[in-house]
Amino acid sequence: MNYADPVEAARDAGKRTHHFHGGLKLKHNKHISCLVPVKRPPLPEFLVVPLLQHAGDVAEPFVKAGDHVLKGQQIGLCEPCAAIHAPTSGTVEAIENRLMTHSSGMTGPCVVIRPDGKDQWVELKPITDVLNTSSDSLINQLQECGIAGLGGAVFPTHTKTLDGRERQIHTLILNGSECEPYISCDEMLMREQPEKIVLGARILRRALGAEQVVIAIEDQMGAVQEALTYAAECAECTSILVVKVTKIYPEGGERQLIKVLTGLEVPAGGRPSDLGLVCQNVATAAAVADAVLEGKPLIERYITVTGNGILHPRNFLALIGTPFSHLVEACGGYTEDVARLVVGGPMMGYPVSSDSTPVVKASNCILALTQKDITTPQAEMPCIRCGECSRACPASLLPQQLHLQIRNSMWDEAQEYGLLACIECGCCDFVCPSHIPLVQWFRYGKGQLRQRAIETQATDIARERFEAREARLLRKKQERAEKMARRKQMLKDKVAHKTTANKPDGKEADA
C-alpha cells in the first residue's frame, strides 16, 4: 500500500467509513440477552482467581492460605504484567492448581477465596485531580489496578499505553463494535454507563498524549450512539467522535476496524501504532475510569450468559473468579438439550470442558449451545475449490490453497500465501460447503511454522557456534604454529648466538 503519509491519512479516522474485504453478515442473536438490565449475581460460595490472566507470566502471589483479604487488595503481581486483586473480602482457602478457563482443560495456580459476605473494601487510592497528574502516574495507576484489555486479548493496558505514548500515536480508537453473534456485554455497558466510557477515553487520551478519540459502535445498537455523544457533550469534550459502522463480522477485529475507519491497512507484521493509532475496548476504558477516578482495581466485568442452552439469557456484572456454574444458575440453569459450553462468541470462542472454571478478565461471554446449533449438515467432504472461503476471508487470503499446503506440509508455500496473517475469525470455516475444519488446520499450520522458525533459529545458533569453534580452533592452531615457529627461530638464534658468543669479541652477548 502506498500512501503519501499513512500516519497523516490516519488522522481522518472515522470521518467516513470504508469497507474491508470479505466478512459475513451473521444473524446476531444479541437481543435474547439484552432484554433485562444488568445485575450483580449473588456472591458465590467460593471465588477462584487464577494467577495467570494476562499475556505474560504467572503472577507471584502475596497471600497464603488462611490469610484474610479485603476487597480490592492486591494478591499477586508479575512485572511487567498487570496486578491481580481479591474480588471481595474473605479468607484465602488455598492456593492450588485448578481447572483454567482454557479449552485444553489444563490447570493452573489459583487463589481460592471464601467470601465473608461483608464486601469490605481495602483503602482505595483514587487520583482526583487527573488534569494535574502526569501521564506516568496515570499509567502506573493502571498497572496497580490490574487493568488489561477486556476485548479478549487481555494485553496489560499500561504496557500498551506506554508503547503508544512512545510511538507518538495521535488517535485512540475505542472498539465498541462487538461483532460476534450473541455477545452483548459491551452494548449493555455502553447503554448503561456511557459517561464512564467517555471519562475513561479522556483519561487514556491524556495518558497516551493522543489528540482525538474515535468510538466505533455498530449500526444496530440503537440509541447507544446518542447516549455516548450526549455523554461526550456533557463532558464538554469535542475531541471524541462516535461513529456507527455497518455490522459485518469480523469488523470488531482490530485490523478490520482500522480499515473501516481509516481506509488504511496495518502493514503485515506491523502494529496499529505504525499508523499512529491505538485500539482499546470500550469496557477497558470504563475500567480505566474506575481505576483512576475511584482507585478501584479490575475485579469485576460485564459478561453475557446466553445461547439456546440457557433458560433466561442475560448480562451480569460478575466478580472475577465467579464459577461459570454460579452464573448459569443465576440465569435459571441450562435447557435440556445443551451440548457445548463456549467462552466468547460462536465464531472465535473456545470450548471449555467444565462449567466449574471461573470468570477471568478475558471472559466476555458464556455461550451455551445446543446440539442443533453445533451440528453441521454433513460430514467433512473434500474441497471443491468453490472459493467461498476466499470470498469471505477478511485478510484476503486463499484458504483453499492454504488448506492444501498445510495438508501436504508445504510450509514454505503456506508462509508465502500468508498463513501467519490469518486472524482465525472462522469466516472460511463457516461458509465452507464441504465443512472442512479450516481454522483448526490453520492453527495447526501456524504452530508448525512457529516450530520451524524456532528450529531454524536453533540450527542457526548451532551453526554459528560450530563455525566460531572451528575458527577458534583454527586460530589456536595457527597461534601454536606461530609460537612453534617463533620458538624454533629463537632456538636457532640461540644456537647462532652461542656460536657468535664463542667468538672472541662477545659484544652481542652483552646486548
Instruction: For the segment 382-441, give every residue that binds another protein (CB under 8 A).
Output: 382-387, 390-391, 394-398, 400-401, 417-418, 421, 424, 426, 429-435, 437, 439-440
- Shortest gap between Cβ of 390 and another protein (angstroms)? 6
Buried b (16+ CB within 10 A) or exposed e, 225-253: bebbbebbeeeeeeebbbbbbebbbbbbb
- What's the Cα-to-Cα distance from 116 to each of 93, 194, 344, 507, rounded to whole Å? 12, 32, 30, 102
Span 265-324, contacts to another protein by CB under 8 A: 265-270, 323
Q: Which amino acid is at 485?
A: A
Span 439-458, contacts to another protein by CB under 8 A: 439-440
Span 146-185, contacts to another protein by CB under 8 A: 181
- Shortest gap between Cβ of 387 and another protein (angstroms)? 6
- Shortest gap between Cβ of 304 and another protein (angstroms)? 15
- Cβ–Cβ < 8 Å for 173, 245: no
Rounded CA separation 241/224 (Å): 13
Span 179-198, contacts to another protein by CB under 8 A: 181
Nearer to another protein, 291 or 369 (CB): 369
Candidate residues 381, 458, 474, 491; the one interacting with another protein per rule CB under 8 A: 381
Q: 226 CB contacts (<8 Å, ≥6 apart)?
A: none
Q: 7 CB contacts (<8 Å, ≥6 apart)?
A: 170, 274, 275, 276
- Cβ–Cβ < 8 Å for 412, 373: no
Q: 188 CB contacts (<8 Å, ≥6 apart)?
A: 34, 38, 302, 304, 315
- Shortest gap between Cβ of 342 and another protein (angstroms)? 6
Span 77-136, contacts to another protein by CB under 8 A: 103, 105
Q: What angle do CA 119, 124, 125 make, to 5 degrees?
A: 170
Our finding on whether 7 is near another protein (CB under 8 A) is: no
Rounded CA separation 180/346 (Å): 7
Binding-residue pattern over the window 345 to 374 for another protein, x denoting contact by CB under 8 A: -xxxxxxxxxxx----------x-x---xx
Our finding on whether 21 is near another protein (CB under 8 A) is: yes
- Shortest gap between Cβ of 245 and another protein (angstroms)? 17
Query: Binding residues for another protein, how many (CB under 8 A)?
Result: 72
- Shortest gap between Cβ of 421 and another protein (angstroms)? 5
Only one of the segments 77-85, 191-199, 233-241, 378-386 lies at the binding site for another protein (rule: CB under 8 A); that segment is: 378-386
- Cβ–Cβ < 8 Å for 359, 326: no
- Shortest gap between Cβ of 252 and another protein (angstroms)? 15
- Shortest gap between Cβ of 47 and another protein (angstroms)? 15
Span 473-492, contacts to another protein by CB under 8 A: none
CA-based Rg of the chain, rounded to a whole angstrom? 30
Grid coordinates standing for 404? 492444501
Nearer to another protein, 287 or 431 (CB): 431
Nearer to another protein, 238 or 378 (CB): 378
Rounded CA separation 343/358 (Å): 11
Nearer to another protein, 229 or 415 (CB): 415
Q: Among 47, 39, 99, 26, which residue's Cα sits nearest to residue 305?
A: 39
Candidate residues 28, 191, 247, 255; the one interacting with another protein per rule CB under 8 A: 255
Candidate residues 2, 132, 238, 376; the one interacting with another protein per rule CB under 8 A: 376
